[in-house]
A and B are shown apart, each in its own frame.
Chain A
Amino acid sequence: MNSVLTSVPPYVLLAVAALAVLALPRRLGHAAAALATAFTFVQAVLLDDGGTGAHLATQLFGFDVVFFNVDQFSLLMGVVVGFLATAAVLYAYGTEAPTWVTAFALIYVSSTVATIYAGDWLTLIFFWELMAVTSTLLVWQYGGEAVRAGYRYALFHGIGGTFFLGAVVVHGASMLGSVPAAEIFLFSSTTGIHASATLLAAIGIGINCGFIFLHTWLPDTYPRPHVAASVFLSVFTTKTAAYVMYRAFPEGGMWLAYLGGFMAVYGAFFALLQYNPRRLLSYHIQAQLGYMLAGFGLATYVGEFAVTGGFAHLFNNVLYKSLLFMAVGVVIYRTGVEDIRDMGGLWRVMPVTFLVYLVGAASITAVPGFNGFISKGMVIDSAHEVHNYELLFGEGLLWWLLILGGVGTFMSFIKLGYYMFFHGSATLSPKDATPFQTAGMLLAGGACVFFGTPFTYGYLIDLMPFTAEVASELHPYSTSHLTESAWLMGAGFVGFFALKRPLGWLAHRMPDADAVTYPAVFYLARGSIWGVTELWAAVDRAVMNAVAAVEWTAMHPREALGRAGVDVEIRTGIGRSVLFLTLAAGVALFVFVLG
């Protein structure tokens, strides 16, 4: 059974399904797509621990490569990506997504799954770059504003991909000698990426993770394409990046943990300032990635518990973040409005959407009973054990950052919900979600609840790595956790309504890093292009003039001498010829006789 399953790489099926979406009628095509994504999910569930191993291993360019590497981490990614992609395909069908959107989305999912199942850095970097290409296509498909944003997105990911490629090359070169040459790129040869490639890898993967200052593509791109495309985009690139980050740095590091902490605060803070719902959610992607990275970063300091926390949060984030994008997408799809201040009172006309939003918001804000509560709690618990830079109440800086991020998250989702569904009288009266949208949202939302209740959260832990070590330590519904959560919520409510005005004021004045980086990059690029062009032109002119001068001098030696003020006959006449001959004979005699 397993051997059959492990011989079928799911991403090939997904790629075929992408073609099927284009070739078949819309309904059939989407059915095929949903089947392919569902297969990805079912395969990962069925394989479970029994299927681990390096499958489809072969050689490419003389290097060992593994096209289907099954272990606990890739399986958990396969489960959630397959599950969510199925929901997203249903949602896309219900949102009248053009077949091209679904096709691009599927090929994007395909490259994502291939990245997840890669068993060596060579395969991984290949599909990583492919992911950047396919996601760019998915953005571009929408046209309009998405095209320019797509260009910026492509630039970011091109640069990031190049850094990461450099890291892979450095890694390979550094591995030479310590393992057989063919095996230098295999994951199994080392733990993580070689130390010499740390910086390159951190920057390359960090761009996809949305590191602070490298994150601006996130809120720039994700609000612009088709709403169904946003659902796909919001989930795969960043979460795969977090997963690859763990692959590269399985031992973590405090730098990663603190970076995660700051990302949580930074993302939540900027989310708080947004009025475009998808832009707000995009900033939250950065914030939530911060929690995951904080968990991975504590891998050594705290141990498996933190790693599991990070992965659990990754897993949950895929579910609730796409759920939120779906809910917001429904509102945008039905109303065509992209500013939450223009919405309001929608809970009466869109009760289903409102409920779904509530589930998603409760999950992301870690309300007890929803999956975010479990995983965020695990990360915060891990941070609890870090006591560098102690601040108030004997808690360390990291813990405070994560808590602060949590409060900010709370505030921003109160804001989002308040503006969309309450806030003044209803001026719009759109219909509620379509059946297939509802189906997609129910799948994702159901999972959010399923993995969060006190009775069923164990299944989440079962899916995680290090289940045995972690299960015994995990008590999410302890009194302290519930109290913590209550404080968090309280602070969030109070904070939002107290700071509503100053935040509104700030929203118009607070620029993100892109206010500096985009013009800087633009003018730098324009300047360098101008410089290179002009420099080349100058070199060209100089060379051509020099060549022309040499040529002219060679062709008119007499005239050239004349211009230099030397007026002599340079042709050798009869007299001079005889002189030369005599001299030559004389020299020959002299040398030959005396030499």
Chain B
Amino acid sequence: MSDVLLPVAIALPLVAATLPLALGLKYERAGWPVAAVATTALAGLATAIGVEVARNGPLSHALGTYEPPIGIELVADELSVAVLALVAAVSLATLAFARVAGPRGNSFYSGYLLLVGGLTGLVLTGDLFNMFVFLEIVGISTYALIAADRSGASAYASLKYLVVGTVGASLYLLGVGYAFLATGTLNMLDMQVQIVEQASYADPLIRASYALIVAGLGLKIAVFPIHAWQPDAYQRAPDAVTTIVAALVSTASAYALIRVSYTVFTVDFLAANDAITTVMLIVAGASILAGSALAAMQSDLKRMFAYSSVAQFGMIVAAVALANETALLGGIVHLVGHGLLKFGLFLGIGLLALGYGARELDDLASAARSAPYTAGAVALLGLGLVGIPPSIGFLGKWYIGVGAVEASLDGGDPAGIGIAAVIFVSTLFTLSYVARVIERFYFAGVGLSDGHGEGDHGDGHDEDGHGDDGHQDAHGTGVAADGGREPAAAAGSGTESDAPLTPVEGAPRSRFVPDRVPSAPLVILVLAALATVALGFAGYALFEWFDPFLTEVFA
């Protein structure tokens, strides 16, 4: 009977999504408590599912009275449990931040729960068309959430995502349609069998189907060059929305790609179609490089880490296309690890924006002095993103890299070495932008009132306009070149701002820490940072956990 957990886990947030609107007729602030209860319950369900899978192996449940392959099947195996755990944890944790950072209002929490329900369904479904439905639920609720603060910029970002997201989802649907034509089934496991029986791996219909599905999911994942919606969406969305969207939405789409590629089309299909994997590897490599380079060019913090996601998902796509066990393990670990890292990073950035009004790299001067715990956690997460052990960020990248080299050594295909090289270059880029953040945190800053800092900045940079409101949008975008050597080419392009981080008016105080940020999200941020480090030691446990899935896929 434990398979009932699966439909309950999906239904719970979806049903709960109606409650804020319904209760909103009577209670103005019904949204948050409802969402909190629902996500807590979801976390409980996810735990129960996880325990069940750990004990008895994969769970499946046929919806209604229709047995698969006709009816819709829900499945939970090791892979989906891992992503489900991430979904449950992040959606619960983000609530703590949304409570203080907004957006407020019951409709927001309805959208929020709809998103969580969509993600849960996406992760648990065993049916290709059902997957499209949940993909659309996720998409639509995301469009709504991005525009939740009703600003012009976020409306545009939302519209952009809506248009291209819809096209992308349509491509996916088209792909599913082709596959249905070729096989006459929509159930994933059944289609895996039918592709061989009724068609073949070389069948143009099957290949076209995979092409369309990959293109559609590629857009949702945001790989270069179809990533353009993603930086805008992440940057313009309200901070709490960015936190959950960045951690989960692309992650769920990448999960879908892994699921479709390995459960439906299987590794044999990939092996039989070299051209497909080659193109995917090229796109993934381009994505890794372009994402890292673009991230390094940004001065807006959210945009910087948005581009960083383009690079990280490039690695995951590469892991899928490499089609070997080590690389896929790395891809899955990186999928979950990256979700956790980005959750923490965007939460940290959101907290700094909330407490200090800091949104740009230049605003962060001396953040480690005024907000040591927040800055420390962000620095730790950033180093994890670079891939410095011990961190889950290191594990994922490491396995992908090793898998890439293995693929080259086994098959003599140079693409693997190329991917490994690209990952290395990307790591350098990542280091460069993370190092800029850390440099601002720990080394930049003048004119601190307690007599620390450098005092005068040598060549007489004007400390214009710092202090009162903490955040100035009018900052020049001068770079943090040290030593006060004004770049000749940048002369006149604005001065470098070394005004230290100052809290906004009314920023919360805490008795325990000097950080002027809300306590509950801060605790979660620190926990998240520590969790990424702790998971860095769990390499073998992760391998053990995913081993059944990998064994089945590569059988």
Contacts and interface: CB of A to CB of B under 8 A. Distances in A.
Contacts of A591: 211, 275-276, 279
Interface in A580-595: 580-582, 584-585, 587-589, 591-593, 595
Q: Chain B binding site: helix, strand, loop or mixed by DSSP?
A: helix
Given A545-B489, A584-B226, A595 B275 contact: yes
A577 B164 contact: yes
A24 interface: no
B487 A580 contact: no
Given A552-B487, A574-B159, A595-B275, A581 B477 contact: no
Interface in A523-572: 544-545, 547-549, 551-557, 571-572
Nearest to B208: A593
Nearest to B209: A592
Given A551-B487, A551-B490, A592-B208, A582 B167 contact: yes
B279 A588 contact: yes
A576 interface: yes
A592 B216 CA distance: 14
Contacts of A573: 160
A578 interface: yes
Contact of B487 (A549, A571, A576, A589): A549
Contacts of A578: 163-164, 167
B414 interface: no
A577 B211 contact: no
Contacts of A585: 171, 211-212, 215-216
Task: From A544, A545, A584, name the one whose CB has the most chain B CB atoms within 10 angstroms.
Answer: A584
A581 B211 contact: no
B229 A577 contact: yes
A546 to B, nearest CB: 9
Contact of B204 (A547, A588, A593): A593
Given A544-B485, A584-B226, A588-B212, A577 B160 contact: yes
A167 B228 CA distance: 66
B473 to A, nearest CB: 16
Interface in A200-239: none
Interface string B146-176: 0000000000000110011001100100000
Contact of A595 (B160, B225, B279, B489): B279
A584 B479 contact: no
A577 B163 contact: yes
Contacts of A551: 479, 481, 487, 490
A588 to B, nearest CB: 4
Contacts of A556: 477, 493
B210 interface: yes
A560 to B, nearest CB: 9
Interface string B13-42: 000000000000000000000000000000
Interface in B256-284: 273-276, 278-279
B160 A574 contact: yes
Interface in B470-491: 477, 479, 481, 485, 487-490
B297 interface: yes
A176 to B, nearest CB: 37
B219 interface: yes
Nearest to B297: A554
B297 A555 contact: yes
B532 interface: no
B218 interface: yes
A464 B278 CA distance: 85
B296 interface: yes
Q: How large is the interface on B (under 10, 10 to 19, 20 to 34, 35 or more residues)?
A: 35 or more
Interface string B191-213: 00000000000001001101110
Contact of B163 (A552, A574, A584): A574
Interface string B279-312: 1000000000000000011010000000000000
Contacts of B228: 571-572, 576-577, 580
A74 B207 CA distance: 90
A548 to B, nearest CB: 3
A585 B217 CA distance: 11
Contacts of A592: 207-208, 210-211, 214, 273, 275-276, 279
Task: From B168, B211, B218, name the one whose CB has the most chain A CB atoms within 10 angstroms.
Answer: B211
Contacts of B493: 552, 556
Q: How large is the interface on A (under 10, 10 to 19, 20 to 34, 35 or more residues)?
A: 20 to 34
A585 B276 CA distance: 13
A580 B290 CA distance: 15
Contacts of A581: 164, 167-168, 171, 215, 219, 226
A90 to B, nearest CB: 62
Nearest to B210: A592
Nearest to A589: B211
B225 A580 contact: yes
Contacts of B211: 585, 588-589, 591-593
B157 to A, nearest CB: 10
B118 to A, nearest CB: 21
B479 A555 contact: yes
Contacts of B485: 544, 548
A64 B493 CA distance: 67
Nearest to A544: B485
Interface string B228-258: 1100000000000000000000000000000
B299 A555 contact: yes
B430 to A, nearest CB: 15
B487 A545 contact: yes
Contacts of B219: 581, 584
Given A548-B481, A581-B167, A557 B297 contact: yes
A551 B436 CA distance: 12
Nearest to B477: A555
Contacts of B216: 585
Interface string B375-387: 0000000000000
A531 to B, nearest CB: 23
Contacts of B278: 595
A327 to B, nearest CB: 63
Interface string A83-108: 00000000000000000000000000
A545 B210 contact: no
Contacts of A548: 479, 481, 485, 487-490
A580 B159 CA distance: 17
A501 to B, nearest CB: 68
A410 to B, nearest CB: 69
A554 to B, nearest CB: 4
B479 A552 contact: yes
Contacts of B160: 573-574, 577
Contacts of B276: 591-592, 595
A591 B279 CA distance: 8
A592 B277 CA distance: 9
A557 to B, nearest CB: 7
Nearest to A551: B479
A576 B229 CA distance: 10
Given A551-B479, A556-B493, 11 more contacts: A544-B485, A544-B487, A545-B487, A547-B481, A549-B488, A574-B160, A576-B228, A577-B228, A585-B212, A588-B214, A595-B274
8 contacts: A552-B487, A573-B160, A581-B215, A581-B219, A585-B215, A592-B207, A595-B274, A595-B278
Interface of A: 544-545, 547-549, 551-557, 571-574, 576-578, 580-582, 584-585, 587-589, 591-593, 595
Query: Which 9 pairs, one residue from A and one from B, show the smallest C-beta to C-beta distance?
Result: A548-B487, A595-B275, A572-B228, A592-B211, A585-B215, A588-B211, A549-B489, A554-B297, A552-B490
